[in-house]
Structure 1
Amino acid sequence: MHTVTPIPAFNDNYIWLIHAKDSGGHYVVDPGDAQAVLDYLEQHQMVLDGILITHHHKDHTGGIEELQASHDHKLTVYGPDNENIKGINHPISGQTESVWPEKLDSDAKIFHLPGHTLGHIAYLIDDHLFCGDTLFSAGCGRLFEGTPAQMRESLQTLAQLDENTQVYPAHEYTQANLAFALTVENDNEALIAHAAKVKQLRDQNLPSLPSSIGLEKQINPFLRPEQASIKQNLSRHFSQEVTDDGTSFTLLRQWKDNF
């Protein structure tokens, strides 16, 4: 069994702290800010055992070196082997299906998710999905390196997970994503209800996360490009007929990039 706690960093990042109840281990996911992690560990009298990295962007990797230097024991650092990330000592190849960090209570299933970056990966530990910048609540990551087709396939892979799977993206982007989602699918009752719930949480400065795969399949336009109402709004916005799902997804990402 594992518990997951957010450590806020920068303007809108979450560094997720995983606590293994049986093994007593502590791991952080995508620690871009070492000091935020060190302060949290000191405040709660915790010892860090390792780091899980999803991709190479500095707001996800920038704290690796300082965290390693701040510990007498060597931290295990997992991450994709094809993204040139300094500090990884347990590289994950494109053929790796799972890893088992020593002080976790179960293995971490690996998902290879090109789109945001080409080597982006996610970790599924029990029913906790750490998906970096691939899947956000009501949104998805920008396509810095991959193609719309790659991102769509990556998201479809995650959408096949059990609907109770808890989703832990690396950013608090939910309200901005919901504003866009409501623009492209304004008659979605689940989306309208969730937007109201998230507003209450954020008004209290509480995280909108985690989400769940089941919820995202109801509210996230990037998991719903086949919906007729979305295609109609895309057709209207881009002044072209949108009929196939691939074009729908591509235009959704293009619209969001300029929203």
Structure 2
Amino acid sequence: MTYYRICLAILLTVCLSRTSYSQESENGKLQTRTLLFGLGQSSVIETYLSPYKYTGINYRLDFSLDKDSKDGLVTWQHDINLDYAHASNYSDRGLYHTAFLDYTFSYLRKVVSTDKFHAKIGLAPDFLLGVVYNNRNDNNPAEAKVNLNLDFAGRLDYRFRWKQTPILLSYDLRMPVLGAGFSPDYGQSYYEIFELGNRSNIVHLLSLHNQWTFNNKLTMELPVGKYSLKFGYLFNLYQTRISNIETSVMNHNLLIGISGDILHLSRKKHLQGKSF
């Protein structure tokens, strides 16, 4: 029952956060949409399916909606991330397909503010849904990932000029600290869980003792008219060790995309203004 109470508490946090967002939306100052495409390398270890390490190509699509409060002290951020990778083992005979959908709602509060530098920290309820598929397994070809976490979130923004062009460097960090997740026991098939009804011990408490996950993103924003081009680098590490099953997914991505204000305000004027 303890695990279900933790899940309920995190769900309530998500609902309260979304309610707070809705109440502030009419008085908000700036709403920014960002769409980023990523391409890079993926490394996957999933001992439920295979003891070997798989490496391959990773594709990523990130969409975010940022909303600042009227006084600029608080930022609400919605993030939706789609991630797909196909990776092979050392013999090139086995093939993994991994797919993840991640939704995060972040509440960030400004703690340091100067004309050129901002630092924000906060909390972020995070829902992850994914699957790892092995094309060589017959009995257990796939493992599902369903996690609900409360993350620590932080952002650093630094503004400078290059030949009269305002440029914004941003670093974003998310790290789960407490949550709950689904995982079968080592050797337990999904047939046992869903057909035979053996569902005991499939929901587990997640914290730093069995989940070590980081999402690090560094971006550079260059204004082009009412919008901005964004370039960046993403390092995403997802590691869990539950019921003697080790999962490790490590992605390195180069990012490129576009960012703009929903109200169609000039991004250049925003970046070079007193408040950014």
TM-score bracket relative to the smaller structure: under 0.3
Normalising by structure 2, what TM-score? Answer: 0.24
Higher strand share: 2
Normalising by structure 1, what TM-score? Answer: 0.25
Q: Which has the larger radius of gyration?
A: 2
Higher helix share: 1
